[in-house]
């Protein structure tokens, strides 16, 4: 893990993807720069005064439940270590905002008396409620900008792969209102520099995945720029003096080829593509799956590979 005070390294010359790491420079930085370049080309604004609502279809919620991941162990460890470092003595109430289908909400249950997951999408909350969850976890349909809690009543607010969809200015005001003195906030996201690993085919598999993601990125909402910029603007918007950004939290996820395709299907960009041109979108997925299988030299989409995802996390602590 690398602590970053609010900036990122400039891209360097392109190189091949090493098989055992995410480099801080080289090809990884080049990919990061190219992703930023595409976002800049679309001439979008960083902060909008409206929240995005892109996950409300029932089918999309089902894909999200099936193919999205819980926060990795390293990220969980970071969160709980941060609470200990800040000496958060009260662990009564944690609120997971933009909880989707509840994968992130449930990991807080063992540490807090009560955990509430909130999402603006009724379909996502319905999926969350239908899955098994601890008795101290509940779910509410609610926008991030109108948190249904009293002033200074919440010990921890989290948003995993969600904060970039919020109306940031309004959310930050609500965050400051509901947190107790010395309460904490954790806002994290995946970064679009995924690697795909399988035996000696990792470089080719990563190339195939990124080509597909590059195409689908053309259908991404403007708020994805906040992810591309590694939550730098979200760090700056956080209304607390005590704050930091952690990068290079690597999650190595065992996944099947079918799981990789499902993950792509669960993205908002793909769902937009699907609505605009269903046949083309489905063709892209079928072609991607076939290319992955051929590169691996296998025929079954149940074949396991390793999906490496990089996380970025913003942490903050409210003053007294």
Picking from 296, 287, 284, 285, the residue whose alpha carbon sits closest to that of residue 206 is 296
Mapped to the 3 state alphabet, what secondary structure does 126-177 carry? HHHHHCCCCCCEEEEECCCCCCCCCCCCEEEEEEECCHHHCCHHHHHHHHHH
- Whether the per-residue pLDDT at 19 is higher than 50: the answer is no
pTM: 0.80
pLDDT of amino acid 190: 87
> Each residue of 170-205: pLDDT tens digit?
999 999 999 999 999 999 998 767 899 999 999 999
d(CA 177, CA 220): 31
Question: Residue 288 — φ and ψ, nearest 5°?
Answer: -65, -45
Give pLDDT, residue 39.
Answer: 43
User: Two tokens at 261?
Assistant: 């395709």
Q: Say what the pLDDT of residue 211 is.
A: 96
Average confidence (pLDDT) over 14-25: 35
User: Which of the four pLDDT bands, split at 50, 70 and 90, describes residue 306?
Assistant: very high
| 229-281: pLDDT as tens digits | 999 999 999 999 999 999 989 999 999 999 999 989 988 899 899 999 999 99
Residues 259, 264, 267, 273: is their CA dihedral positive or negative? negative
Who has greater pLDDT, 96 or 8?
96
Q: Provide the β-strand partners of residue 236.
A: none
Each residue of 42-76: pLDDT tens digit?
A: 433 344 444 444 445 566 555 555 556 778 899 99
> Does the structure show a pLDDT above 80 at 11?
no
| pLDDT for 52 | 45
Q: Is the pLDDT of residue 92 over 70?
A: yes
Residue 185 and residue 177: Cα distance in Å, rounded?
12
What kind and span of H or E run contains 39? helix 26-41
Residue 206: closest CA among 310, 70, 302: 310
pLDDT of 182: 95
Lowest mean pLDDT among 7-16, 21-30, 65-74: 7-16
Q: Which helix (H) or strand (E) holds 274?
A: helix 268-276
Q: What is the DSSP letter of 106?
A: G
Residue for token pair 């970053």 = 4
The size of the chain, in residues, is: 320
Residue 137 has pLDDT above 80, yes or no: yes
pLDDT of residue 68: 65
Q: For the domain 25-192+222-253+309-317, what is the CATH code?
A: 3.40.50.150
Q: Is 199 left (phi over 0), alpha (psi -120 to 50) or beta?
A: left
What are the structural domain ranges in the chain? Answer: 25-192+222-253+309-317
Q: Indicate whether 1 pLDDT > 60.
A: no
Asked if pLDDT for residue 109 goes beyond 60, the answer is yes
């Amino acid at each position: 893990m690398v602590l970053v005070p609010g900036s990122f390294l400039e891209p360097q010359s392109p190189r091949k993807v090493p098989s055992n790491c995410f480099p801080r420079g080289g090809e990884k930085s080049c990919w990061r720069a190219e992703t930023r370049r595409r976002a800049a080309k679309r001439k979008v604004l960083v902060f909008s005064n409206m929240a995005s609502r892109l996950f409300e279809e029932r089918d999309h919620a089902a894909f999200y439940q099936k193919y999205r991941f819980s926060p990795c162990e390293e990220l969980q460890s970071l969160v709980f270590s941060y609470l200990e470092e800040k000496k958060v003595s009260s662990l009564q109430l944690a609120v997971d905002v933009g909880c989707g289908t509840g994968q992130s909400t449930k990991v807080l249950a063992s540490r807090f008396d009560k955990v509430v997951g909130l999402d603006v999408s009724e379909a996502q909350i319905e999926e969350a409620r239908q899955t098994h969850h601890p008795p101290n976890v509940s779910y509410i349909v609610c926008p991030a900008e109108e948190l249904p809690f009293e002033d200074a009543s919440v010990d921890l607010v989290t948003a995993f792969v969600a904060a970039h969809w919020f109306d940031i200015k309004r959310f930050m005001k609500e965050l400051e209102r509901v947190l107790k003195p010395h309460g904490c906030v954790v806002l994290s996201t995946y970064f679009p520099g995924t690697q795909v690993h399988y035996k000696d085919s990792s470089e080719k598999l990563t190339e195939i995945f990124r080509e597909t993601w590059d195409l689908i990125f053309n259908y991404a909402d403007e708020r994805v720029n906040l992810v591309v910029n590694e939550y730098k603007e979200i760090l700056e918007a956080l209304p607390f003096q005590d704050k930091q950004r952690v990068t290079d939290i690597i999650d190595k996820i065992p996944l099947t080829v079918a799981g990789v395709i499902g993950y792509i299907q669960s993205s908002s960009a793909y769902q937009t593509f699907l609505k605009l041109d269903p046949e083309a979108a489905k063709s892209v997925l079928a072609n991607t799956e076939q290319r992955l299988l051929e590169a691996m030299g296998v025929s079954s989409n149940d074949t396991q590979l390793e999906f490496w995802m990089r996380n970025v996390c913003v942490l903050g602590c409210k003053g007294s």
